[in-house]
Amino acid sequence: SAIHLKDYTVPAFLIDKTELTFDLDESTTVVTSRLHMRRNPAFGKSTAPLVLDGGEDVKLIGVAMDDYPLPPEEYRVSEDKLIITATADEFVLTCETLIEPQNNTKLEGLYRSSSMFCTQCEAEGFRHITFYLDRPDVMSVFTTTIIADEARYPVMLSNGNQVERGKNDEGKTVVVWHDPFPKPAYLFALVAGDLAVKNDVFTTQSQREITLQIFTESHNIDKVDYAMEALKRSMRWDEEVYGREYDLDIFMIVAVDDFNMGAMENKGLNIFNSSCLLASPETTTDDNYLRVEAIVAHEYFHNWSGNRVTCRDWFQLSLKEGFTVFRDQTFSADMHSATVKRVEDVSFLKTAQFAEDAGPMAHPVRPASFIEISNFYTLTVYEKGSEIVRMIHTLLGEEKFRAGSDLYFERHDGQAVTCDDFVAAMEDASGVDLTQFKRWYSQAGTPIVTATDHFDAETGSYQLTLKQETPATPGQPTKLPLHIPVRVGLLDKEGKALEATVEGVTAQDHVLHLTESEQTVVFSGVTTQPVPSLLRDFSAPVKLRYEYSSEDLLLLMSTDNDGFNRWSAAQQLAVNELNTLIDQAIKGETLAVDSQLVDGFKTLLNDDSLDPAMVALVLALPSQAYLSELANPIYPAAIKQARQYLKQQLATALSAEFERTYQAHSMSSGYQPSAEQIAHRSLKNIALSYWVEAGDEKAQQAVRAQYQSADNMTDQFAALSIAVNGQLDSASELLAAFYEQWQNEPLVVNKWLMLSAAQEQDTALETVKSLMEHPAFDLKNPNKVRSVLGGFGQSVSGFHKADGSGYRFLADQIIVLNKRNPQIASRLCTPLTRWKKLQPELSVQMKAELERILAEDLSKDVYEVITKSLA
Ligand code: ARG
Ligand code: ZN
């Protein structure tokens, strides 16, 4: 059953101090808690019973009140609660509980990953460790004692500072950690294992020395240098840009192989999926390097935006996630190229978040209800949430935004607050009224902004009319107009920026405030018919519609001084051509398009003044996933055919340019994950993928040569991917060689699994089935499941098989994982949630699989996604 935001009430009890003791053991772990509790004055006078959360997997051995054991009639244990009928106003509650981390396959609470113990408590994992008030507005000071066998668990970690280490009577090691900062249970963490450590120090702006430690299993400790440097860059950046200094004396990160998500910001003890932390040139691609840096930064930034100031309830999740994603995006932009970063982030948003907004799971950035909170760690909460913060930044400007952020942290330090509190701080510090703007938090769906214009040469006035409309989403049939910042510039026919006056302000670039359903803005002093550059830097997460001619798009693509819109124009041009081709493919016609892109690409490839990374981004045609988001209904095979055709046409027409570009950007200096080198490699490798497409024998040799001589994973894996995706004769031989070479590096094997599973071939379904039988596969490891099944979802010929067998296969896996690991099972449902948009023959097949899953005894996670999809 669903939980609603409108039903929020403050907790009836508070826990001032939490003392935990873990007696770790491979069979049964004993957890003893001493909770220093009192009735919450804010709740009002009450004799309400004490209701603690605790999962079925927590076995209660004994409970005592102020050290007097409670008789059985004074408490009861239900499915997921411990209810104590009568309590004093202030008391110490002691619970002794048993758990079995070794049997925890859900990877929530305390579990085992290889030979270590570790935890994941966000959002509601702590209740699988012991009985507690497992809600973020109950903040407590934690002291954690860990007892374990020294030989197997020499490293024993928890939040805060280690205050004691010794031996008990049985000769076991006892370690005590104390975290002075009050925190909700979701930020609790514990790790124990035989781990290697890399040490470093960071000196803060106020000259405090912070010990930095990264822990991994010993065979991985040589792959943490990059993460350590990224951590120090993050710490410095947060001081410089947000004035935020680290608070404890020690900051630790631990890498674990089995982890449901990317990483977790536990106070002073971040835990990472090893795929988001480990990096070395030989095993890690450029993309993965950037991801490591971004996630290290993200989790570090949570220390303020998340930990010092946390969420009142889980409906406010975007309070910390939207803000922290915005912070990590800006950090990465500052470390590398801002335009490249913006294009990547927006591409991702428009592909995946827009699809979520258009599907059955659409929800506002601050959802109004949920059945299972784990299902709401979504692109909407994270990425659209970040866009909301970015729009506030645009509306306030850099300085006032910083003032708002300072006020927010000062006003709410140590509190659990709401998105409204965040906006109020921004308003109070800036004087900007965000009343209407706040609708962005509560209204789901992607707004469509349609622009039309009229130029009057006589008066030199240019009228731009903007209309907005947000389509209905589940539970929200009608929508109100939003406050949408639309950044606009005007270009003349040569592409020169035009100055114009809007409401008394003369500039080349204006932020318009679209607040009505329809609004007309007049630009005066316009000397010639302009081409508008609309929604610069993607100033709002909307779908923009404007009737651009191909000439306009070519002009914007080559001259706009907004780098983002240059990419955007190129992308639109490609989308237009692809849509023509897709229509032809659906109708079974011969594909033919008079491509404007040939000239556009030629200019790009011959212009050495351009940022190679931007050229590479333009050359990457709109993805299958993005074109699917735009389509309704979706014809997957037609989209695939259109993309292949266009790539082929471009490759043939520009084969010489691609060859030259490939050669020009191949360099042999030592590998660095620097923006500059990454840019050259990205252009080189995409050029190679086109050159090969032209059918040139020399190109095929270049692929093989690059594969064999590469001294870094980026180039090696790019060559392999080109061979596989281009279906070169060498593909199967190289795939086999790659596995042979890297079989002992799990993170590299994951890449191999994904590439293998994503292959476009008639036997794709057989391939994925055999991959799941492969010794490298492990159903317990979320990364491997994601690689194989995520990869498979990308294979049009495998997943979208006409007889529905691809969907059936995925549904089978969801049914298997439903009980074992509900979070992962629920994520795997995503491709099936798109069934309504699919072409009719496929749609019915997909729907049948959703119904088949529904007939099972489902976890809350899977139940919510499936029922909402079928509603
Ligand atoms: N707070 C983490 C992050 O974004 C995400 C953890 C979510 N985990 C989960 N199982 N829902 O950094
Ligand atoms: Zn986060």
Ligand found nearest the CA of 276? 1
Q: Give the residue, by CA position, lying nearest to ligand 1 atom 7.
A: 122
As a whole number of angstroms, the distance between CA 141 and CA 335 comes to: 36
Which amino acid is it at 795?
S
pLDDT at 786 over 90: yes
pLDDT digits (tens, 9 = 90+) for 49-60: 999 999 999 999
Tokens 């699917």 locate to 628
Q: Give the residue, by CA position, lying nearest to ligand 1 atom 12.
A: 264
Of ligand 1's listed atoms, the one at least distance from the Cα of 382 is 4
pTM of the model: 0.99
Cβ atoms 494, 450 nearer than 8 A: no
Q: Give the residue, by CA position, lying nearest to ligand 1 atom 3.
A: 264
Q: How many CB atoms lie within 10 A of CB 656?
A: 13
For position 668, what pLDDT does the model report? 75
Both structure tokens of 466: 């903007």
Q: How many CB atoms lie within 10 A of CB 768?
A: 26
- For 77-129, what is the HEC assignment? ECCCEEEECCCCCEEEEEEEEEECHHHCCCCCEEEEECCEEEEECCCCCHHHC
Of ligand 1's listed atoms, the one at least distance from the Cα of 823 is 10
pLDDT at 722 over 80: yes
Cβ atoms 757, 789 nearer than 8 A: yes
Which helix or strand (DSSP H or E) is residue 147 part of? strand 140-148
Q: List, chain by chain if needed, residues with CB within 6 Å of any ligand 1 atom.
A: 120, 122-123, 260-261, 263-265, 298-299, 321, 374, 377, 823
Angle between helices 764-773 and 746-757 (to 10 degrees): 150
pLDDT digits (tens, 9 = 90+) for 237-276: 999 999 999 999 999 999 999 999 999 999 999 999 999 9
Which residues sit opposite 269 in a β-bridge?
252
pLDDT digits (tens, 9 = 90+) for 96-133: 999 999 999 999 999 999 999 999 999 999 999 999 99
The DSSP line for 612-677 is HHHHHHHHSPPPHHHHHHH-SSB-HHHHHHHHHHHHHHHHHHTHHHHHHHHHHT---SPP---HHH
Cβ atoms 243, 249 nearer than 8 A: no
Please compute the mean of the pLDDT values over residues 796-816 and round it to a whole number: 98
To the query of whether residue 299 is one of the catalytic residues in this protein, the response is: yes
Please compute the mean of the pLDDT values over residues 751-765 and round it to a whole number: 97
785 burial level (CB within 10 Å; 0-12, 13-18, 19+):
buried
Q: How many CB atoms lie within 10 A of CB 710?
A: 17
Both structure tokens of 259: 């982890």
Q: How many CB atoms lie within 10 A of CB 142?
A: 25
Whole-complex ipTM: 0.98
Probe residue for ligand 1, chosen from 377, 381, 860 as the CB with the greatest number of ligand atoms within 8 Å:
377
- The pLDDT > 70 percentage for the chain reads 100
As a whole number of angstroms, the distance between CA 167 and CA 177 comes to: 15
Span from the CA of 442 to the centroid of ligand 2 (angstroms): 20
Band of residue 475 on the pLDDT scale cut at 50, 70, 90: very high
Cβ atoms 817, 785 nearer than 8 A: yes
For position 464, what pLDDT does the model report? 98
Residue of 19, 124, 299, 745 with catalytic role: 299
Span from the CA of 120 to the centroid of ligand 2 (angstroms): 13
819 burial level (CB within 10 Å; 0-12, 13-18, 19+):
middle
pLDDT digits (tens, 9 = 90+) for 524-578: 999 999 999 999 999 999 999 999 999 999 999 999 999 999 999 999 999 999 9
Which helix or strand (DSSP H or E) is residue 406 part of? helix 398-412
User: CA 717, 723, 725, 728: dihedral to nearest 10 degrees?
Assistant: -170
Tokens 């994973």 locate to 713
Band of residue 667 on the pLDDT scale cut at 50, 70, 90: confident
As a whole number of angstroms, the distance between CA 615 and CA 738 comes to: 29
As a whole number of angstroms, the distance between CA 557 and CA 544 comes to: 16
Collect all residues with Cβ–Cβ distance below 8 Å to 497 and sequence separation of at least 6. 489, 490, 491, 508, 509, 561
b/e code 398-431 from CB counts within 10 Å (16+ = b): eebbbbbbebbbeebeeebbbbebbbbbbbebbe
Give residue 485's Cα distance to chain centre.
24
Span from the CA of 330 to the centroid of ligand 2 (angstroms): 15
Residue 695 Rama label (left phi>0; alpha psi -120 to 50; beta)? left
pLDDT digits (tens, 9 = 90+) for 807-863: 999 999 999 999 999 999 999 999 999 999 999 999 999 999 999 999 999 999 999
Cβ atoms 622, 574 nearer than 8 A: yes
Q: Give the CA distances from residue 375 to residues 290, 362, 630, 696, 865, in Å, rounded to whole numbers and listed in that order.
A: 26, 11, 24, 47, 8
pLDDT at 155 over 80: yes
Span from the CA of 241 to the centroid of ligand 1 (angstroms): 24
As a whole number of angstroms, the distance between CA 257 and CA 264 comes to: 13
Of ligand 1's listed atoms, the one at least distance from the Cα of 374 is 11
User: What are the φ/ψ torsions at residue 433 (nearest 5 degrees)?
Assistant: -85, 115
Q: Which residues surround ligand 2, an ion (CB under 5 A)?
A: 321, 324
Span from the CA of 319 to the centroid of ligand 2 (angstroms): 10
Q: Give the residue, by CA position, lying nearest to ligand 1 atom 11.
A: 374
In whole angstroms, how large is the CA radius of gyration of the chain? 28
Q: How many CB atoms lie within 10 A of CB 857?
A: 8
Give residue 434's Cα distance to chain centre.
27
User: CA 362, 365, 366, 369: dihedral to nearest 10 degrees?
Assistant: 10
Q: Identify the three-state secondary structure at position 482.
A: coil
Which helix or strand (DSSP H or E) is residue 772 part of? helix 764-773
As a whole number of angstroms, the distance between CA 213 and CA 196 comes to: 10
As a whole number of angstroms, the distance between CA 725 and CA 788 comes to: 16
Ligand found nearest the CA of 128? 1
Q: How many CB atoms lie within 10 A of CB 526?
A: 22
Long-range contacts of 840-844 (CB under 8 A, 24+ apart): 840/633, 841/802, 842/636, 842/800, 842/802, 842/804, 843/633
Both structure tokens of 559: 């001259």
Of ligand 1's listed atoms, the one at least distance from the Cα of 260 is 10
For position 701, what pLDDT does the model report? 98
Nearest to 417 by CA among 309, 265, 308, 267: 309
For position 669, what pLDDT does the model report? 80
What is the largest distance, in Å, between two alpha-carbon atoms of the chain?
Answer: 95
Least confident of 12-26, 382-396, 595-609: 595-609
Cβ atoms 640, 624 nearer than 8 A: yes
pLDDT at 712 over 80: yes
Span from the CA of 407 to the centroid of ligand 2 (angstroms): 21
Mean pLDDT rounded to a whole number for the chain: 98
Least confident of 248-257, 373-382, 664-673, 725-734: 664-673
Which amino acid is it at 506?
T
As a whole number of angstroms, the distance between CA 213 and CA 209 comes to: 13
Which residues sit opposite 156 in a β-bridge?
192
- The pLDDT > 90 percentage for the chain reads 99
Nearest to 719 by CA among 754, 667, 708: 708
pLDDT at 157 over 80: yes
